[in-house]
A = this chain, B = another copy of it.
Amino acid sequence: MNNFPVTELRCALCHKSYHPGEVRYTCPDCGTDGILEVLYDYKKAADSMRPDALRQAPKSLARYAPILPIADPANLPPLRVGGTPMYQPKRLREQLACPKLYIKDDGQNPTGSFKDRASAVCVASALDNHIDLITAASTGNAASSLSGLCAAVGLKTIIFVPEHAPQAKVTQLLMFGATVLKVRGTYDDAFELSMQATAKFGWYNRNTGFNPYLLEGKKTAALEIWEDFGYRLPEYVAVGVGDGCIIGGLWKGFKDLQRMGLIDRLPKLIGVQAEGSSVLTKAFSNGDKVIPEPDADTYADSISVGTPRAAAIALQGVRDSGGFFIAVPDSEIMEAQVMLAKYSGVFGEPAGATPLAGLRRCLQEKRIDSQAEICVLVTGNGLKDINGAMKSLQASAYSIDLDPAKLETSLQELAIV
């Protein structure tokens, strides 16, 4: 692993530093809460990460290899992960009176979610280390993502899911050949059981908030936002928040850009949660005191989390950025999902539309300037959860007769002509 660019793993709690060969998951002193931050030789990395170098590089995650925990970038799965489109949605901007709104559609990743970024790095890391089996617990997206990318390279996957995971997501990962274990319990229960299995059988674990390298995959979205904006950053980045790993990953990406001296301003992070699953929003206004809520529930299943695993880094990141958390009711997420599709052509899953719901609320409450540059990150494809979309829909199809003679009458009755 001569080319492994990680120089240090540093505990987020006790700040003790480890060599990357010393430890695989969390800080041995602090236990599972001691998430390790992955650090690099930023001075050296900066050379390959300057705009002029990146403009020449092929459009794949390998372009960020100098600050990824991968020894051999050829071990990244051969699917088009990242490089997702950044849209300037004219009609949605008009609808919200928010003229500098941007949508980054991460639902366009190979398996339909942002999680492909983290899975890609996890797969490469496993291949670097000659590991042939990866396990994870997931509400769905991380699992299908891991399974899909493992299918492309031939790694085995064992996935722990809560018993009420949407069938569409379970089907997707079975199609990819994963072994799926439905745990008779919640996401948190599935997570605990996967941790037990990791400890017991020595499987490689993909759980974010545990495996430090996953966050490094997630940060690639931040690096792309920087590139999409022409090597600068918008004033706000809004994203849906469940366990805090995505927003934590984004913050890590922005911080790394700062460490390399490539930006002079960091964006403010807006973490948007569903009211029914808003542990971090409450903690943020309560001295960062995290109180798990085992009954957390929202129809935006990808962010339905009672025990946020990456609470510390999410809270710290949002605070350092000068941003904030906000919680919105499911009814507003449903409206945002329809609005996003109807006015931009981007069909996001409920959790993917959640930051738009938060943005609407912020604009209504004048918490942010409507003229600011705002990037909304859509983290999952609406096709992943058709049942969720059906709940959001107010509209329905009209049934009409086959008889052409009745066509005009039918359409008149429906007020279409």
Q: Which residues of A contact B (CB under 8 A)?
A: 77-80, 85, 87-91, 105, 108, 110-112, 148-154, 158, 161, 163, 167-168, 170-172, 174-177, 179-185, 189, 192-193, 196-197, 200-201, 337-338, 341-347, 381-384, 386, 389-390, 392-393, 395-402, 404, 407-408, 411, 414, 416-417
Contacts and interface: CB of A to CB of B under 8 A. Distances in A.
B389 A175 contact: yes
28 contacts: A78-B87, A78-B88, A78-B90, A80-B85, A89-B152, A108-B110, A111-B345, A112-B383, A151-B341, A151-B343, A151-B344, A158-B416, A161-B397, A168-B383, A168-B386, A172-B347, A172-B386, A177-B341, A177-B395, A180-B397, A181-B398, A182-B397, A184-B399, A184-B400, A184-B402, A185-B402, A193-B402, A200-B408
A91 B149 CA distance: 12
Given A77-B345, A108-B80, A200-B407, A175 B338 contact: yes
Nearest to A392: B175
Given A171-B389, A176-B341, A189-B402, A111 B407 contact: no
Given A175-B342, A386-B171, A393-B171, A197 B407 contact: yes
A417 B201 contact: yes
Contacts of A170: 397
Contacts of A337: 175
A362 B215 CA distance: 45
A318 B4 CA distance: 51
Nearest to A401: B184
Given A175-B341, A176-B341, A184-B401, 19 more contacts: A79-B85, A79-B87, A91-B153, A91-B154, A108-B110, A110-B345, A148-B341, A148-B345, A151-B343, A152-B344, A168-B386, A171-B386, A175-B337, A175-B392, A179-B414, A179-B416, A181-B399, A182-B399, A201-B411
A176 B345 contact: yes
Given A182-B400, A397-B182, A108 B108 contact: yes
B382 A172 contact: yes
A201 to B, nearest CB: 6
A163 B398 CA distance: 10
Contact of A395 (B105, B108, B172, B174): B174
Contacts of A171: 386, 389-390, 393
Given A386-B168, A396-B174, A183 B402 contact: yes
A24 to B, nearest CB: 20
Contacts of A167: 386, 390
A168 B347 CA distance: 12
B158 A404 contact: no
Contact of A148 (B192, B347, B398): B347
Given A345-B79, A381-B383, A389-B175, A398 B180 contact: yes
Contacts of A80: 85, 105, 108
